[in-house]
Structure 1
């Protein structure tokens, strides 16, 4: 009996101990359950247990309605298939095949099932869910029989991710399509990213630039570049210009805006906004050149007006004096030398003005060979002593109808170009000829009668030009000289003048051999304009007795015109300006046979005077004179329309010849 009682007490102790353990285990399970429950609630997730063999939910946590729009009491095995139909899956995140992924999970080939899917609830609400689960295996068969997982609403997070992705794509698009160059450097100055615009500017590929030390691109001293990096990393924003090396070794000028930025990972980088301003700087330099040329032209025009008036007086009185002297008079030689000096001064003034003149072509007939001979002295001074000038002129005269002053400009521009090609000296050959075979030209407005043309060739044995340079030499502002040494206007101006004269220019050149410019101009065909050599001669044909009113504000010029016309028998009245002339003419019974007027005068100029007089005397003959070479184009067209203009300086013979020509029309 006692023995049985002892066994019973031992059994009771064992059961009590076992009960205590069970209570402790239950308490631990409750504690863990609470932890898991709280964790799931805090994570706003809904746990579930899915039987994969029966495809029924054995358990579905609270919050089902808030998550998928279906109350918990409807989540049961019988309703599973209907519930699946009520919840519409409309998408998955990322390139995933959901069926294949699910099959791999069921086959036990995945440690877990993790997928983001977009659904539409029975109420029509679209949400993003995260489905995270682990497989539960059958202990006997080893197959996956259940799936224990948690469904979470990740709509807010997913929308944020999509917004960030869209923003990144937008900024990437802006980065890629920006016409301005963008470079991202690390804090050591090595390039980590570039956009296509900077690749194009530097003539390098993205692969070539990534990883490159940005210091290798700069042509600034290394110390300056290092100082810039230090200042940027210290928080300073830099805006400056920097000469930059391109892949082919040439340089471009970059306008840089550099600042330090911090990326989301906390690393500091240097952001460089780079704009290639090489062309802008070139255009600014060209504009400055052009403005200087324009200023020089205006100044030269004003100075030329005064010179032309003085030269008119000097040459006029020299010629009158020579006409009154006997051939054996000892003063003839002295006066002739003064007259010749005046003629050279006149030629020099016109040639200097040729660099900046903007005027309607003043066509006249002259011998091109004579013109070149007259230019020889000036050209010799222009090219210097180390260059030998040779003239290979045709044996017979070459008559040409052109603007002599403008043609002088063409020749001088070509000669200057040849001189610059021979810095160590050489030979310059100027040749003229009539050619019967004219090179083909694409311009339909340029035609030559009977396939003939005047060819003026200018050849040097200088450094020559390559094919690429030859393509651009006639472009405005194109130059191969160093900055500040040329405007790039010389050859383009020559090309424009020749084309305006009905011709064209061919160029042939070889490096270290030399260059030849062939200027082709139309052969002169007699159109009734008489070719007159420049010499002093008496002629009864230019005399007359018509009445002429002379309007000139310069006393000395007025006097020489008065004396010249009187000498040849004309009746002359004089006026100091347009107002005085208007009163003189309108006060008489009949208009004069000819009104000879200066163009620019105080109070009333020549064009205005003629306009007023034509109202009363529409048939009035008019002859204009002027010392200005840069008159407005509108005035030039007005005074040159009927070939009744004479440019100062002029000699008495030229004056009277022009007067007679107009009166005889």
Structure 2
């Protein structure tokens, strides 16, 4: 037992000697430097006056020089030296330990007087003055022992190298092009990262590196290179502060070598010789000899065991070869130092396309598609190296992706690694296809026109698409993880949750209609929801695909409304056609009556009683003609002569007449708009619109009131036109007539433009005034909007299209003398015998030579047979066989200088279709008087 204790003590002593011996050179240099400083230091009576205190900053984690103890206070070799310096000099020292980078910054900013534990560099010489060095420190590379090939600073290329921020080693590494640096705040943090396998290579001052490697028990996992450089610890002051530098040097010169040794002994321990128990050496030697004898005997036993194990090893080798070649992965054994391939299996030969001899003649880097990839390695916690993706090259030049796993082992002092290579081309293709499929599906969902969402079993949203965000007005980051009850009104949320539960409980696809008060108003949806299942086949949520039916429903409602409008318009058109047909025939009869009355009046003396009777007949016929004209305007069959008008000028010219029309008790207010656009209309139509509207407003005002007339320019969008019959987007001149009369209810407004509909008493209106306005406005491609409330008055807005032409397209000529009517020959074509005879008599009364025809064919024959010149063709527009325009073409081929005068009760459509008004074609509306006919004939002949 005593010998065992001696042997154990000897081994412990030897171990401690090895540990201390590694630090001994640095300690010896420090002691020698201290002695030199002590001898060299001599009192100087000429020293400048010493300060009362100085501020010193140093590294906070550089054991054994300085570090934080378990109580949080700084301690170490330098702390004791500065405290002794304080005693020797009587100058109070404020010692601060912080991270090294912060210490440099604080010293540069002047927050400290002295900085300790600093290496001298070219950059630091520019702003610091240094003391003599007091410690020599080696700075090697520490690296994981599984990594080979690191010998100097150049071999660090390709590795991630850890270093301490602000350390001189950082500048050195960067000067040599080592840029892949991992910077830490202190040395302990670097070693702790190495322990956690986050760092495999680091450049750290040797004393603290050894201290922390032993502290964390990983000293056997790392090897060190030769020193990259040897640094020396100095103390430094701001550049030019020589007085303080002398004070610091002088203070440390007063510390004796014995005192320095005492401090170092405290932190480095006692010398090795003092630890050796000499009285135990001889028993230990004896024990060692005894052990040698035992080992010799044991060796003989081992030789016999070797013989037995040889066969086992041979069998094991056969098993190894079998396992090595059976695997599906390509296996390569690589010399870690030379990168030479030592052995390969059959899968590797098949994968790379080389023969075994060719592969074994290569290095592992020869298989890389990019040889530079070989220097980038990752070592995991088990000492295994895994590279998830590299690209290798086959013998035929094909480059392919491989997944690599390596394990390291040592045999006969040589370092090897076993690399397993797996071709992952197919896996990468599958992963790429999967990514593309997910990207396509994601794009399909995200850009779908439907609202798509996913909820878990508790109703929390886990996914919504862009359309869902747009319709609900909620952003997905505010939706994911929340329920309907947290997002929507209670009624909507209960509706959604009820339907969701129905889907999950029935485990079926269910289609339902749902509604929601969304950001854009109340919405109606068609929801198709189906259950989602987990890996066990249990329902764990639902997915919904929702179609927004709101616009479709609105479109259906709009379609119904337009259908009603179309029906109403068709009814109005039918009434118009009926009124137009009746008015045309009635106009013909009125024309005959008026013509014969006028001819009769020419034959009777004014004082004859029959003359008065004929005048009464004439007045009644003229009123009937006005009524017929209104019906034709409503039917849009009345001929007009449009021109470019300034609406303000037209209305202003009617104000005096309007004042007499509405009476003194009603005020007419005129509000003309500025820069009003021109319109293209017959001036008489404007007069009819304003007169009828003001008359209607007058009748709606019981006593005193007012009528306001205004104009303005408006530009209408397509959205405004929705719901307004006849409206089209574009520029319009708006004519507004508003009164403060009795107003109308909706039923009256709906019937307002019906012909012969009136709310007035019998004898106070025919019901054609507003119907006439309706016909005029629609004939000119405009529309009307009516707003009225009972007891609050009525506002009627007339929208007339803006005219953008160059001016009045019809430049008429005024009738005048110069062509005696009595010298003119007129070909009169009329299919109504009564009108033919009456018109012939009128033409002869004004002195014309008249040729007559009742059909176009007869007219062509008369023109061909007539030997003289026919000056004027007067023809009805609408006739059997061909219309008046076609007849004029045929006759002008016979008589090239033939003038034209058309007549009709409703000729606007026919003449307008042939662009007759633009070619100075003259027109007289039926019924006409003798004076009207004389004026028109003279005008036509003078053209």
TM normalised by structure 1 equals 0.59
Within the alignment, does 1:113 sit opposite 2:386 as a pair? Answer: yes
> Structure 1 CA distance, aligned partners of 2:550 and 2:727?
22
Q: How does 1:487-506 map to 2 (within 5 A)?
A: 487-489=726-728
> Structure 1 CA distance, aligned partners of 2:332 and 2:428?
22
Deviations 1:44-64 (A, max 9, x none): 312344453554555533311
Q: How does 1:198-209 map to 2 (within 5 A)?
A: none
Within the alignment, does 1:479 sit opposite 2:721 as a pair? Answer: yes
> Structure 1 CA distance, aligned partners of 2:385 and 2:934?
114
List alignment gaps of at least 5 residues for structure 1. 1-13, 92-96, 381-387, 395-399, 420-425, 431-456, 460-469, 502-513, 533-538
126, 140, 165: which one pairs with 2:435? 165
- Residue of structure 2 equivalent to 1:194: 465
Give SS of 2:720's match: coil
Is the CA contact (8 Å cut-off) linking 1:64 and 1:71 kept in structure 2?
no
Q: How does 1:175-190 map to 2 (within 5 A)?
A: 181-186=449-454
Within the alignment, does 1:124 sit opposite 2:366 as a pair? Answer: no
> Structure 2 CA distance, aligned partners of 1:373 and 1:225?
72
- Residue of structure 2 equivalent to 1:617: 895
How far did residue 310 of structure 1 move?
2.2
- Residue of structure 2 equivalent to 1:321: 597
Is the CA contact (8 Å cut-off) linking 1:112 and 1:132 kept in structure 2?
yes
- Residue of structure 1 equivalent to 2:744: none
Is the CA contact (8 Å cut-off) linking 2:455 and 2:543 kept in structure 1?
yes
- Residue of structure 1 equivalent to 2:682: 403
Is the CA contact (8 Å cut-off) linking 2:828 and 2:836 kept in structure 1?
yes
CA shift in 2, pair 1:221/1:202, >3 Å: closer
CA shift in 2, pair 1:339/1:410, >3 Å: closer
> Structure 1 CA distance, aligned partners of 2:922 and 2:566?
32
> Structure 2 CA distance, aligned partners of 1:226 and 1:580?
86
Structure with larger Rg: 2
Q: How does 1:41-56 map to 2 (within 5 A)?
A: 41=327, 44-53=328-337, 55-56=339-340
How far did residue 269 of structure 1 move?
3.3
Give SS of 1:602's match: coil
How far did residue 618 of structure 1 move?
0.3
Is the CA contact (8 Å cut-off) linking 1:63 and 1:72 kept in structure 2?
no
How far did residue 581 of structure 1 move?
1.4
How far did residue 658 of structure 1 move?
0.9
How far did residue 491 of structure 1 move?
8.2
Give SS of 1:105's match: coil
Is the CA contact (8 Å cut-off) linking 1:105 and 1:135 kept in structure 2?
no
| Aligned-residue RMSD, C-alpha | 6.5
How far did residue 115 of structure 1 move?
0.9
- Residue of structure 1 equivalent to 2:629: 346
> Structure 1 CA distance, aligned partners of 2:503 and 2:878?
65
354, 376, 385: which one pairs with 1:70? 354
> Structure 1 CA distance, aligned partners of 2:494 and 2:660?
53
CA shift in 2, pair 1:557/1:515, >3 Å: closer
Within the alignment, does 1:61 sit opposite 2:345 as a pair? Answer: yes
Is the CA contact (8 Å cut-off) linking 1:298 and 1:630 kept in structure 2?
no
Within the alignment, does 1:247 sit opposite 2:519 as a pair? Answer: yes
With CA pairs under 8 Å and 6+ residues apart, which has the higher RCO, 1 or 2?
1
Is the CA contact (8 Å cut-off) linking 2:902 and 2:923 kept in structure 1?
yes
How far did residue 73 of structure 1 move?
4.0
> Structure 2 CA distance, aligned partners of 1:413 and 1:131?
97
- Residue of structure 2 equivalent to 1:508: none
> Structure 1 CA distance, aligned partners of 2:799 and 2:520?
34
269, 283, 286: which one pairs with 2:543? 269
CA shift in 2, pair 1:277/1:655, >3 Å: farther
Within the alignment, does 1:655 sit opposite 2:933 as a pair? Answer: yes
- Residue of structure 1 equivalent to 2:850: 572
Q: How does 1:523-542 map to 2 (within 5 A)?
A: none
Is the CA contact (8 Å cut-off) linking 2:594 and 2:927 kept in structure 1?
no
CA shift in 2, pair 1:130/1:652, >3 Å: farther
How far did residue 75 of structure 1 move?
4.4
- Residue of structure 1 equivalent to 2:864: 586
CA shift in 2, pair 1:358/1:566, >3 Å: closer
- Residue of structure 2 equivalent to 1:450: none
> Structure 2 CA distance, aligned partners of 1:48 and 1:605?
105
How far did residue 631 of structure 1 move?
2.2
CA shift in 2, pair 1:561/1:35, >3 Å: farther
> Structure 2 CA distance, aligned partners of 1:150 and 1:343?
109
How far did residue 29 of structure 1 move?
7.5
> Structure 2 CA distance, aligned partners of 1:73 and 1:596?
118
How far did residue 319 of structure 1 move?
6.6
Deviations 1:307-350 (A, max 9, x none): 24522532562475367554872664565245224314413532
How far did residue 247 of structure 1 move?
3.3
> Structure 2 CA distance, aligned partners of 1:565 and 1:36?
129
> Structure 1 CA distance, aligned partners of 2:455 and 2:592?
80
How far did residue 596 of structure 1 move?
0.6
> Structure 1 CA distance, aligned partners of 2:422 and 2:549?
50
How far did residue 284 of structure 1 move?
7.6
Total equivalences in the alignment: 540
> Structure 2 CA distance, aligned partners of 1:167 and 1:657?
86
> Structure 1 CA distance, aligned partners of 2:728 and 2:332?
86
Q: How does 1:188-587 map to 2 (within 5 A)?
A: 192-195=463-466, 234=508, 247-249=519-521, 269-271=543-545, 300=576, 303-304=579-580, 306-314=582-590, 317-318=593-594, 321=597, 324=600, 326=606, 329=612, 332-333=615-616, 335-347=618-630, 349-350=632-633, 353=636, 361=642, 390=668, 403-404=682-683, 407=686, 428-430=707-709, 457-458=710-711, 472-473=715-716, 475=717, 478-479=720-721, 483=723, 486-489=725-728, 544=822, 546-555=824-833, 557-587=835-865
Deviations 1:622-660 (A, max 9, x none): 112233455267744135411412344544432332112
Is the CA contact (8 Å cut-off) linking 2:815 and 2:938 kept in structure 1?
no
How far did residue 26 of structure 1 move?
9.1
